[in-house]
Each structure stands twice: as structure tokens, then as C-alpha cells.
A and B are shown apart, each in its own frame.
Chain A
Amino acid sequence: MLMMNQGVNTQTIASVDPNSLEGRYVVDVSQGQTSSYNPTAYESEAASWTMHRVDNHSTENGILSNSSYHHDHQTQQLARSAQDSLNTASLAGSSTQGTMSVTQDHSSYAAYNPTDPYGYGSSGYSSYYNNGYQQQPNHAYSQQQPSHSYSQQQPSHSYSQQQPSHSYSSTGGAYQNTGAPYQPLSSFQNTGSYTGTTSYSTTYYNPGDYQTAGGYPSSGYSNQTSLWNDPNNANYTSQQYSTYAPDTTSAYSSGTAASTSMNYEQHYKQWADYYSQTEVSCAPGTEHLSAASTSNLGSAVSGVYPTSNTQPPASFTPASWRPESASSELPSLQTGATISSTHNGWKQGTPSFQNHHASPMQPHFQISLESKASYDNIQEQQQTAPQAPNSQFPAAHQVTQSYQSTLQNAPSLDTRRVSRMQIPTNPRIASNLALGLSKTNKDGPTNSAAAKPAYISVSMPKPNDKVLSNDATNSMLKPGMFPNSLRRYVERAFNLCKDDTQRVACQAIMKEIITKATADGTLNTRDWDAEPLFAIPNAEAVNMDSQCPTPVSSLSRYKRSPGRRSKSRWEPLPEEKSVDKPVSISNDIVKYDGWERKPPSVNSESKWNALNNMKFSLLEQRFPSKNTQRPAKRQHLADGLNAANNDASSDSDKEQSLTAYYSSAISIANTPEEKKRRESRSKRFEKGQGHRAEINHLKQKNAGAENLYSRRASALMLNKSFDDSGSKAVEDIDWDALTVKGTCQEIEKRYLRLTSAPDPSTVRPEEVLEKALLMVQNSQKNYLYKCDQLKSIRQDLTVQRIQNQLTVKVYETHARLSLEAGDLPEYNQCQSQLKTLYAEGIEGCHMEFAAYNLLCVILHSNNHRDLVSSMSRLTEGAKKDKAVKHALAVRAAVTSGNYVMFFRLYKDGPNLNTCLMDLYVEKMRYKAVSCMSRSYRPTIPISYIARVLGFSRTSDGNDEKDSDGSGLVECVEWMNTHGACLTSDSCGEIQLDTKASSSSLYMPEPEDAVAHGDANLAVNDFLTRTSL
């Protein structure tokens, strides 16, 4: 079947014009995803997927995914819906798989989404295109996003392979451009032996992707890089695959930035790995390939199909898919299943084969659509494949993602095709190979186009514009420079296209117009903005896209959450966990990228870039090590950031990659364009480097730690990247999206302040937290340890948004502990939390803490208004409570200065009221002694003072004899330190000379006073804390 499909695809591709393909893609993006997934072909696979998915569901990722989905929906309903549909499909099938990947993605998404809305304004797009590539990073996102997502996944997962695949997806655009060359590739893919070749193609793409990714980080570069990548891809596809992969990649990377180069190198390595893998797996792979390819085909088809649905492109087997596509979710599942199967294959050893196959399959599909699309698919598949090795489920997720990316790519392909329209016919592909820059330019357009397609599918008008602009930009890049107005014009034209057929027609017309304009030299002079649009057949396809996605998205959200849960199960398993998580992340990212590309892409792009940068750096680091190692090992390496860091091989790889990158960079650097780009890039680079530094830092920190830490680090990195991109306002963060369902089973966990979205694998679920609380309560260790543990419990509760009796218990426990330790700041935190928790009606020791609160206000804030207001808030019932009564009595004693009453209350305070009073004792005693020395004459026996002021241990006179001594000594000591004048009377009893003391009393400086006022920050104490 796969072979058949591929063949069909290739044929269809050949038959279909690039333009038509583009148009289809655009349309497909929205519909395609939904419909394509449905394909029944996968149903059988779907079952397997469901199994996997179930597992995924068990993991907690699902929750995250849900939240993230929400975001997506909001920002880009269309895109999201498409993605969601994919996700949902996966979810529906297995639900878990989708969720798995989704979860991580969600976190990232949430961040993205917020950004998207902002960034996304149409202006953002225009700027995108116009700016070209300052914003291109964003654009790049659409392409890069996939790559980014992958990169992210890789960091977390250590998916060296996946990353390449990601890069592929991004480069997908380039591939599309190279459609012709790719077709051969697709043929390769079809043949089992081809896996190797396919891998090459993918590798090429990967380099491109990587470059783009790198470029994105660098910022200015994204376009250029993408361009570069595309040329590379084109070149590669046409010829030099093996050679190009390294060279071109390096060159590209240089164009983008050092970071990109890094990526490239890694990519190369990865590619090499891939190749090796693919080769090895070939034999087994063939079988798998068939399955994988089928699945891939399905996925590819899905991507293609959307377009086909809207458009006539029945040529593809997709037609069958299309019917299936009716349920987008199913298709995604199926694809996911196929992917998973491929993944499985990878794991088995054949995996490489499967992956390859899958990629070929995708290429076929994409090829059918466009060469680029196929590439994207391939990349995606590869990515998924890496993920698959980690966990079949993740793989499934990845697959879905890959589908999305394919979809995106498809659009990009379309746009590229527009440019390519010229290009394919043009000898430029060859020239591109020769001319790194020129090629890169083309690629850039393609990339941007790819990004645009995503947009198109998602946000009806904007995406189209973007796509158009991308196309235009691509075309411009190819010929030299198309004016922005032309881009807009093209965008407008495409916007009007309602379905794929229209787009195809539109593209054809556009080509004519542009060629004409170029021929008569009016291309740059004409006022394209004012140019009337040619008539377009229909204008409904766009709407279709938008409609379809939204429902799907909602579904996907839901489905994803289960998937996350499944993750949790996996987590316990070290390898699987790491793999799964990364995979899921990458998948999510990919998906998001795809989705975001459409409408949100603008906003998200910057974030994505940041993320990409981050990820890339990580990926790069990881990749080298992975490349050197076997595929399986690679995964492991990728999984553990630490591992990558620790690996000497990785370092050497990096160096190599760097050198390669630099050399390539130098070669590239000559063009004036390149120089400009460099400037803009350098800025981005700074950012990217910063990211990397952060990442490294994180890694180092976590190096010693376990999986949890590495995961967290990756999560942190994600967050940071978000922050960096960070124009998003706090209120835009979708907290639902950031809600995590923890999977960590360890009872003990150190507190580490979250600086990023929480990683479910480091978060303990409620049952574990309960045990942890018990552990802390029964622990014999000191307060600092308990405080640390409780804070981590609180954190886990917070990120999982658990607000129930357990939460109250934890806060109460912590508040009590901090009271016992006299840690007021910590207590205040707990108290304020408890206030809201009680206000929500959760039961706890409400009265006890009302009393504490009262005491706190009375004794420590000394604010009459606060006191009055908190008193007025007490209910009648509360006033009858023993603890509250006590607190109110203390208040009365304090306001009247009744020290006798105060110290009586001090001695029999319920609960921990005494602890709070402790903090006021010194002040009260001083006041009391001042008062006494004014009003008593001539002397007061110390024994009386010791008794009244609570120095003696026992309450009041009865047991005085027993405790008398110690109380007296303490009291005398206290008197001495406060400058009191003591005398002895005839009986030898020590007396306070009140008259003399009245003028000599003073409040001594606290012994533990520190200059900064907070003894807790004292160095020694700090060190003891940290050494815990």
C-alpha cells in the first residue's frame, strides 16, 4: 500500500502543478488535518494506537495538553482546531498519545498562545514578511516551529533524530520547493533500500531545518536561514544529499548564526546516525516500512488530503483518505499509530528503518502534494520515529505532530511552489546548489511560505496573507527581491481563494502576472497594493478551514489531557519517560508550530524563536553525542540533558559542528545581504546565546540530579524561552494550560523555585504528596529541611491546582512549623494562602488560624485599622472559639499594657498561640519593667517580676519553688542585659531598684541582629540551609 501510495503521490505531484499543490495545501491545512486523519486505513492501526494512547493517557501530560489547547483555540482556533483535530484524533484513538505530547506542548503552548495574540496582529504578519526576517524568526516559526517543537522535544527527550526530523518539517518548505528532486526521494522511500536515501533527503532537510532553527534564534536569520535551508534542500534533493548534508548545513548554519551552525552540525551528526540507522534497519525496516510508510502515507495523506479535499487533487490516493478524513481525529490517530509502529520498529532496532520508511512515506504524501510537504512529513516522521523509540506513544504523538507539520509544510510548499513555479522550471535548483545564498533565498521564501500555509489554514485571512506574503517573499527572494506590495497583492489574491482549486488557479494566474511584470520591468514599480485582483473562482474554502478546526480543537484539548496522564505511567520507566516526555514536547511543539503558524504564528513566532533557540542549543549539544552514538543511545542522551553535557563525545561533536558551521558561515558571509542578515542575526544570537547559557547553567545544576531534574531543566528552558520572547502579559497566560498532572512517585523532593512551566515528571500527584506530607510530619529532621520539603509540596499542589483538604493540611502544617520556628515570613505566606482556601469553603482548622491571624496583627503589625477590620470580620461563632478567645484576650492585654494578663495568657495559650506570643515577649517585658520602675517604690523583688513576667516555667505561685531558681537566674540575666539596677535587701533577696532603673533601662540590640535586618539571610544560616 505504501508503495502504491507513494507512487500515486509522486505521480500526482508530477501531474499537479506546484501552484495547485500550494493551493491545496492551504486549504488542506485546516480541513486536511481533520479529514486526513480519519482515513480508515489507519483504523487498524488506530487500535494499536489506542493502546499506546491509553498508556499516554495514564501519564499526566494530558492535562497540560488540554490547557495548552485552550490557548491555541483562543488564539488560533483554526490552526488549533486543525492541530487539535490531529491531537484529538490521536487522543480519540489512544487519546493518551496525543495527550502525552500535548501535555508538554501545552505548557509551551500556553505561553505561546498569549504571545500569539499579541504578536499576531496582522501587522505582525506584515512585519513578518516585510521585515522579512527580523520577524521571520517568527515566520520561521511556522517552519521553525515544527523544528522548534522538535528541538524542544529533543532537549527534553534528547531526540537527536527527532530534531532532525523537526528540522525537516521546517525545511519541509524547502523540500516542497525541491519537489521534483524529492519525488525521486519518494521513490527511494518506497523501496526498502531507499530508506537510506530517504534518510539522506531527510538529513538534508534536517540541516535546513536546523539552520532555520538556528536562524530563528539568531532572529534576523530565520528568513535567510530558511532560504538557505531551502536552497540546501533543493540542492540536496537534486543531488548532493550526502555531501550537502554536512556542507550545506554548515553553510546555512553560518548564515543563521553560530547557534544555528551548532544545530547544523548536530543535525549532521544526527543525520549520519539516521543514515546508519536507516541502513541497519533497512532489512527489518522494510516490513516496518511498509507499515510505517503506510502510516506515514496516511499522515502525509492527511496533510495532503485537506488540500485535496478542498481542492480537486484527487490524484492522490488521499482521495481515499479524504473520505476518511471526515473525522480528522481518527486520521491523526492512525497516523500516530503508524508512526508509533515505526517508532516501535526503531526501538526494536528496525526502528531506523521504520522511521526512514515513515519519512519516505511522508515524502510520498508530501511529494504528492509537494516535494516539500513530503519532506516535512519525512522530517516529522523522523522526529516521530525518534520519539517512537523512546515510547511508542510519544511516537504516535509525534506522528500526529508530524502530520500537522506536514500540513504546515504543505502550505509552505504551496507558497514555495509559487516561487518555485519559477524555480522548478528554473535551473535555479541546480544553481541553488551551486549558489548557497541564492538557494538559501529560495529556501527562505519556501520556509516562509510553509509558515504561511499554516497560517492560512488556521486563520482565514491572516494565514492566507501570510502564506501569500511568504510566497511572494519566496518568489521575491528567488528573483531577487519582490516588493512588499507584491507580496501583499499575492496574499490578497490567495486570501480570496476559497479552496484549493482556486488556489491552484490563482497561483497560475499569479505566476503569469508576476512573470509578466518581471518581463516588462514593472515588478518593482507597480503599485501592487492598488492592483485589482484577478477574479477567483470561489471564495469559500477558506471559511471551510476555519470552521472545521474549531470543533476539532476543542476535542483535541480534551483528548490531550488523558494523554498526559498516560505519561505519568511511563515516567516511572527511566528511558521511556525521558523519551516520552521529550517526544511529547517535541510533538506538541510541532503541532503548535503548525497551528500557530496559521493565525497565532505571528505572536508565537517570537516565542517560538526563543524556544527554538533554547531548544536548539540544547539539541545541538545533545545531538553531537547522539550522533556519535547509536540511535537508541542517542535517545537516551537526548533525554538527559545532563547526559549530553557530560558526554565528552558530544563536546567534540559540537566543536566539529562549530568549525563546520563557521567555515560555512565564512563562505556565506560574503554577500551583502548576508552581512545585513548577520547584523540582525547577531542580535538574535545574543538572545540565543543567552538562552544557551541559561540552559547550560541549568544543565550543570541538574547534572548530578536525576531524570526529574533534567526534565525540569528542560521545562525551565522552555519557560525561559517563553519569558524571553515575553511580551505576553501575565493575564494572558492560560493557567489552565499550565496546569500539570504530576507523575513523580518520589516522596522526597527538594524545593526549587519554578522559573518555567512545570514538568509533570517532577511533579508529584496527590497521593504521593499525601505521603510526602506524612513523611514531613513524622520527620525528625530540622525545620529547614521540613520547610524545604513543604515548599516543594506546596509547589506541586499549586502547579496541579489542587485545592482541597490536603492543600489546607499542607499549608496548616507548614504554618505551624514556621510558627514553631518563629519564621514569620513563611508563616505569612501560608496564612494568606489559608485565608483564600478557607474562603473557598475548604475545611481546616479555621479557628486556630483565625486566632493566629489575629495575634499576628496585634503583635506584629500594630496597625489599628487592620486590627479593627480583622476583628470585625470575626463571626459570633469564631469569638466563642477557645483559640480566638485567647487571641482576643491577648489583644486586650496588649492594648491595655496589662503584662500580668499577657504572661498568663502566654503560659496557657492553645495551639501555637504561645509561639506567636513568643515573638512579642521581649517587648512586653521591657514595657512592663519600664512601667514597674515608674510606678513602684522603692523596690520590687525579682522573684515577683520573674513570676509575673513569665520567667518561671510554671504558671503562678504554686510550683514556684521548683522553677523558682531557673526563673530567677534568667530574670536577673534579663534585667542585667536591659540595664536594670538590682540590689539585695537584708534577707539577701535580689530586688529591682525602681528609681535607679527608671532612667537606666534600655532595649539591648538583639544579639543576632544583622545589617540587612533579616537574620534568616545570615551567611552561616544560608550555608547550613543549602547544605541540607
Chain B
Amino acid sequence: MSVETKISDREIIAALQGGLPIVAAPYAEVAGKLGMSEADLVARIAAMKDSGAIRRIAAAPNHYKLGMVANGMTVWDVEDAQVAELGAQIGALPFVTHCYERPRARDQGWPYNLFAMVHGDTPDEVEAKRAEIAAILGDACHGHDILYSKRILKKTGLRLRKRG
């Protein structure tokens, strides 16, 4: 075991959560700040990818800036007995980026249990996709709505709360 195993995953996450520096040798730069070698940092990141702690190292795009002005969260009240089967069908649609079953909050006027995020270049395009989902759900759906996003208020990814 090298002395560098003393550096915790937490410290590595703290060093990376603001993003990777956009320089020629980014891992070497972060490793230098942590007081470890580039090779050791890369090995630790690889291990975190294997464990699933890091999904990937990538860019988070801003859909609005990329011209995808319409982003609708479609929500559906689907028969509980059919939600698994129908959810799988909706999730497989190419224009659905995220699809989840979530609990209802009926007492708050929220009867919806299936969420499907739909992106498009125009609101019309999103509406057409919404109609396609409605057709698949058919009679198993008792109500639906669409919540367009008006503004990104925050998008930072993970931030560890400071300890101590």
C-alpha cells in the first residue's frame, strides 16, 4: 500500500466536484493539488468508475443554448398494475431521455405516477411526442399534464457539504 491511500475518496470528490480543469494534463494538475501522483489519481478514478461512484467524465450541456428550447416533463396517472410494462415502453422511445415511476401525492393534487422527460426544438414537436405517449398508454392512463421548464435556476451537479 502506498502512502497515497491515505487520501480519501471524499478528498478526491471534493477536488473534482467543481469540474475538471480544462488544461492539457488535467489529471496531473488535480493530482498535484492533492499531493499524489497522476498515475495514482487515475487509478483511483478508474476504481470509482468501476464501483459506479463516477458514471463518466463528461460535459453537461445547456439544452437551451443548444437551441432545444422546449423541454417538457410529461407526467401521467397510469394504472399501478400496468405501470411497469407501459413505463418500459415509454422509456424505450427515442425522444424520452428520462423515465421514472414515482409516488403520487394525491392530497396535493398530484395524481401522476409516471414521469417522462421529452426534449424538442419547438413546443409543437414536444406536443406531438406527448400525443404519441398518450396513444401508447391508452385507457390505462387516467390523466396527464406537461410541465415546461421556464428557466434553469441551478445546475451544479454534486456538492459535498463541508464537514467539521
- A and B, one complex? no
Measuring CB to CB, which residues of chain A are less than 8 angstroms from any residue of chain B?
A: none
